[in-house]
Chain A
Protein backbone atom coordinates (compact mmCIF):
# COMPACT_ATOMS: atom_id res chain seq x y z
CA UNK A 1 0.00 0.00 0.00
CA UNK A 2 1.15 3.52 -0.65
CA UNK A 3 -0.74 4.88 2.31
CA UNK A 4 1.04 6.73 5.02
CA UNK A 5 0.72 5.21 8.45
CA UNK A 6 0.11 7.45 11.45
CA UNK A 7 1.38 6.65 14.89
CA UNK A 8 -0.05 6.47 17.47
CA UNK A 9 -3.56 5.44 16.45
CA UNK A 10 -4.95 7.31 19.45
CA UNK A 11 -3.52 9.94 21.78
CA UNK A 12 -5.04 11.48 24.91
CA UNK A 13 -3.45 14.52 26.58
CA UNK A 14 -4.31 17.29 29.02
CA UNK A 15 -5.10 20.77 27.77
CA UNK A 16 -1.94 22.86 27.54
CA UNK A 17 0.33 19.91 26.75
CA UNK A 18 1.97 19.36 23.38
CA UNK A 19 0.77 16.63 21.03
CA UNK A 20 3.05 14.86 18.58
CA UNK A 21 1.83 12.60 15.80
CA UNK A 22 4.01 10.72 13.36
CA UNK A 23 3.56 9.56 9.81
CA UNK A 24 5.65 7.01 7.95
CA UNK A 25 5.41 6.28 4.24
CA UNK A 26 6.97 3.85 1.80
CA UNK A 27 7.67 5.50 -1.56
CA UNK A 28 9.45 8.70 -2.55
CA UNK A 29 7.27 11.79 -2.48
CA UNK A 30 7.03 15.31 -3.87
CA UNK A 31 5.00 16.56 -0.92
CA UNK A 32 3.27 15.50 2.25
CA UNK A 33 0.10 17.06 3.62
CA UNK A 34 -1.59 17.01 7.02
CA UNK A 35 -5.35 17.21 7.44
CA UNK A 36 -7.68 17.41 10.40
CA UNK A 37 -11.16 15.92 10.70
CA UNK A 38 -13.64 16.80 13.41
CA UNK A 39 -16.10 14.06 14.28
CA UNK A 40 -18.74 13.65 11.56
CA UNK A 41 -17.25 16.34 9.34
CA UNK A 42 -15.02 16.53 6.28
CA UNK A 43 -11.24 16.90 6.28
CA UNK A 44 -9.63 20.30 6.58
CA UNK A 45 -6.21 20.95 5.08
CA UNK A 46 -3.65 22.08 7.68
CA UNK A 47 -0.26 22.24 6.05
CA UNK A 48 1.70 21.05 3.02
CA UNK A 49 5.43 20.40 3.16
CA UNK A 50 7.46 19.77 0.03
CA UNK A 51 10.17 17.15 -0.23
CA UNK A 52 12.93 19.78 -0.26
CA UNK A 53 11.67 21.32 3.00
CA UNK A 54 12.58 20.03 6.45
CA UNK A 55 10.29 22.03 8.69
CA UNK A 56 7.23 24.21 8.38
CA UNK A 57 5.19 26.23 10.88
CA UNK A 58 1.63 27.46 10.92
CA UNK A 59 0.42 29.03 14.15
CA UNK A 60 0.65 26.34 16.87
CA UNK A 61 1.45 23.66 14.28
CA UNK A 62 4.93 22.50 13.43
CA UNK A 63 5.57 19.89 10.77
CA UNK A 64 8.88 18.20 10.11
CA UNK A 65 9.85 15.97 7.21
CA UNK A 66 12.74 13.52 7.05
CA UNK A 67 12.84 12.05 3.55
CA UNK A 68 15.80 9.79 4.43
CA UNK A 69 13.63 8.07 7.04
CA UNK A 70 10.43 8.49 5.03
CA UNK A 71 8.70 10.04 8.00
CA UNK A 72 6.98 13.23 9.10
CA UNK A 73 5.73 14.54 12.41
CA UNK A 74 3.01 16.99 13.35
CA UNK A 75 3.44 18.88 16.62
CA UNK A 76 0.57 20.83 18.14
CA UNK A 77 1.80 23.09 20.92
CA UNK A 78 -0.24 24.28 23.90
CA UNK A 79 -3.17 22.07 22.95
CA UNK A 80 -6.78 23.10 23.48
CA UNK A 81 -9.96 21.08 23.86
CA UNK A 82 -10.95 22.34 20.40
CA UNK A 83 -7.96 20.48 18.93
CA UNK A 84 -9.76 17.20 19.64
CA UNK A 85 -10.06 15.58 16.20
CA UNK A 86 -8.51 12.96 13.93
CA UNK A 87 -5.35 13.94 12.09
CA UNK A 88 -4.33 12.41 8.76
CA UNK A 89 -1.20 12.57 6.70
CA UNK A 90 -1.42 12.29 2.93
CA UNK A 91 1.40 11.60 0.51
CA UNK A 92 1.48 11.98 -3.23
CA UNK A 93 2.24 9.00 -5.40
CA UNK A 94 1.30 7.11 -8.53
CA UNK A 95 -1.85 5.03 -8.33
CA UNK A 96 -2.69 1.87 -10.23
CA UNK A 97 -3.90 3.86 -13.25
CA UNK A 98 -0.57 5.67 -13.48
CA UNK A 99 -2.06 8.95 -12.29
CA UNK A 100 -0.56 11.12 -9.57
CA UNK A 101 -2.79 11.23 -6.55
CA UNK A 102 -2.92 11.64 -2.80
CA UNK A 103 -2.85 8.65 -0.48
CA UNK A 104 -4.28 9.11 3.01
CA UNK A 105 -3.34 7.22 6.15
CA UNK A 106 -5.81 5.89 8.70
CA UNK A 107 -5.31 8.77 11.09
CA UNK A 108 -4.43 9.56 14.71
CA UNK A 109 -7.36 10.24 17.01
CA UNK A 110 -6.36 13.07 19.37
CA UNK A 111 -8.36 13.77 22.53
CA UNK A 112 -7.51 16.89 24.53
CA UNK A 113 -8.94 16.75 28.04
CA UNK A 114 -9.98 20.13 29.48
Chain B
Protein backbone atom coordinates (compact mmCIF):
# COMPACT_ATOMS: atom_id res chain seq x y z
CA UNK B 1 0.00 0.00 0.00
CA UNK B 2 1.10 3.55 -0.72
CA UNK B 3 2.11 5.41 2.37
CA UNK B 4 2.25 9.18 2.55
CA UNK B 5 3.65 10.42 5.83
CA UNK B 6 3.36 13.95 7.11
CA UNK B 7 5.84 14.84 9.80
CA UNK B 8 3.41 16.35 12.31
CA UNK B 9 -0.29 15.80 13.04
CA UNK B 10 -0.57 19.01 15.06
CA UNK B 11 1.62 22.10 15.02
CA UNK B 12 1.36 25.43 16.82
CA UNK B 13 3.48 28.34 15.65
CA UNK B 14 3.61 32.08 16.14
CA UNK B 15 2.94 34.87 13.67
CA UNK B 16 6.03 35.73 11.65
CA UNK B 17 7.76 32.38 12.16
CA UNK B 18 9.09 30.38 9.23
CA UNK B 19 7.26 27.06 9.22
CA UNK B 20 8.26 23.83 7.50
CA UNK B 21 5.79 21.03 6.77
CA UNK B 22 7.36 17.81 5.57
CA UNK B 23 5.84 15.03 3.48
CA UNK B 24 7.38 11.71 2.43
CA UNK B 25 5.93 9.05 0.12
CA UNK B 26 7.24 5.53 -0.32
CA UNK B 27 5.85 4.53 -3.72
CA UNK B 28 8.25 6.27 -6.08
CA UNK B 29 5.46 8.55 -7.31
CA UNK B 30 6.42 11.30 -9.71
CA UNK B 31 3.78 13.77 -8.56
CA UNK B 32 3.30 15.37 -5.17
CA UNK B 33 0.78 17.94 -4.00
CA UNK B 34 0.10 20.28 -1.11
CA UNK B 35 -3.48 21.28 -0.29
CA UNK B 36 -5.10 23.23 2.47
CA UNK B 37 -8.57 22.33 3.70
CA UNK B 38 -10.88 24.84 5.33
CA UNK B 39 -14.53 24.41 6.36
CA UNK B 40 -16.89 25.33 3.53
CA UNK B 41 -14.06 25.78 1.04
CA UNK B 42 -13.05 22.20 0.39
CA UNK B 43 -9.51 21.37 -0.70
CA UNK B 44 -7.51 24.06 -2.42
CA UNK B 45 -4.24 23.31 -4.19
CA UNK B 46 -1.27 25.34 -3.00
CA UNK B 47 1.62 23.87 -5.01
CA UNK B 48 2.40 20.68 -6.84
CA UNK B 49 5.49 19.04 -8.27
CA UNK B 50 5.75 16.56 -11.13
CA UNK B 51 9.45 15.85 -10.79
CA UNK B 52 12.44 16.47 -8.58
CA UNK B 53 13.29 20.17 -8.38
CA UNK B 54 10.17 21.01 -10.40
CA UNK B 55 7.28 22.97 -8.91
CA UNK B 56 4.09 24.56 -10.15
CA UNK B 57 1.76 27.02 -8.45
CA UNK B 58 -1.72 25.90 -7.63
CA UNK B 59 -4.75 28.04 -6.84
CA UNK B 60 -3.44 29.72 -3.67
CA UNK B 61 0.38 29.89 -3.67
CA UNK B 62 0.70 33.31 -2.02
CA UNK B 63 2.59 33.17 1.25
CA UNK B 64 3.92 29.66 0.56
CA UNK B 65 6.91 28.08 -1.14
CA UNK B 66 7.91 24.46 -1.70
CA UNK B 67 11.00 22.36 -2.07
CA UNK B 68 11.50 19.01 -3.76
CA UNK B 69 15.14 18.00 -3.55
CA UNK B 70 14.42 14.25 -3.56
CA UNK B 71 11.68 12.34 -5.33
CA UNK B 72 10.14 11.00 -2.14
CA UNK B 73 10.06 14.26 -0.19
CA UNK B 74 8.01 17.42 -0.74
CA UNK B 75 8.22 20.27 1.75
CA UNK B 76 5.83 23.17 2.20
CA UNK B 77 7.28 26.37 3.64
CA UNK B 78 5.37 29.23 5.17
CA UNK B 79 7.86 32.05 4.78
CA UNK B 80 6.33 34.28 7.48
CA UNK B 81 3.35 32.62 9.11
CA UNK B 82 0.16 34.60 9.50
CA UNK B 83 -3.07 33.81 11.37
CA UNK B 84 -5.00 33.33 8.10
CA UNK B 85 -2.74 30.35 7.38
CA UNK B 86 -4.26 28.43 10.28
CA UNK B 87 -5.67 25.40 8.53
CA UNK B 88 -5.46 21.66 7.86
CA UNK B 89 -2.66 20.93 5.38
CA UNK B 90 -2.81 17.77 3.31
CA UNK B 91 -0.03 16.25 1.23
CA UNK B 92 -0.76 13.82 -1.59
CA UNK B 93 1.12 11.86 -4.23
CA UNK B 94 0.23 10.13 -7.48
CA UNK B 95 1.82 8.35 -10.36
CA UNK B 96 1.71 9.77 -13.88
CA UNK B 97 -1.03 8.47 -16.15
CA UNK B 98 -1.12 8.32 -19.90
CA UNK B 99 -2.62 11.75 -20.40
CA UNK B 100 -1.81 13.60 -17.23
CA UNK B 101 -1.45 13.16 -13.53
CA UNK B 102 -5.03 14.25 -13.12
CA UNK B 103 -6.32 10.87 -14.29
CA UNK B 104 -4.63 8.96 -11.51
CA UNK B 105 -5.81 8.49 -7.93
CA UNK B 106 -4.11 10.65 -5.34
CA UNK B 107 -2.88 9.13 -2.08
CA UNK B 108 -3.10 11.39 0.93
CA UNK B 109 -1.30 11.71 4.22
CA UNK B 110 -3.25 12.16 7.45
CA UNK B 111 -2.77 15.91 7.42
CA UNK B 112 -1.14 18.50 9.65
CA UNK B 113 -3.45 20.73 11.63
CA UNK B 114 -1.51 23.98 11.87
CA UNK B 115 -2.43 26.78 14.23
CA UNK B 116 -0.78 30.18 13.94
CA UNK B 117 -1.11 32.29 17.08
Contact = CB atoms under 8 A, between A and B. Distances in A.
Nearest to A99: B56
B45 A101 contact: yes
A107 B108 CA distance: 16
Contacts, number: 67
A95 interface: yes
A30 to B, nearest CB: 6
Interface of A: 3, 30-31, 33, 40-45, 48, 50, 88, 92-93, 95-97, 99-102, 104-107
Given A41-B110, A43-B106, A100-B102, 6 more contacts: A31-B102, A31-B103, A40-B113, A95-B59, A97-B57, A100-B100
Interface of B: 4, 35, 40-43, 45, 48, 56-59, 90, 92, 99-103, 105-111, 113
Contact of A100 (B40, B99, B111): B99
A88 to B, nearest CB: 7
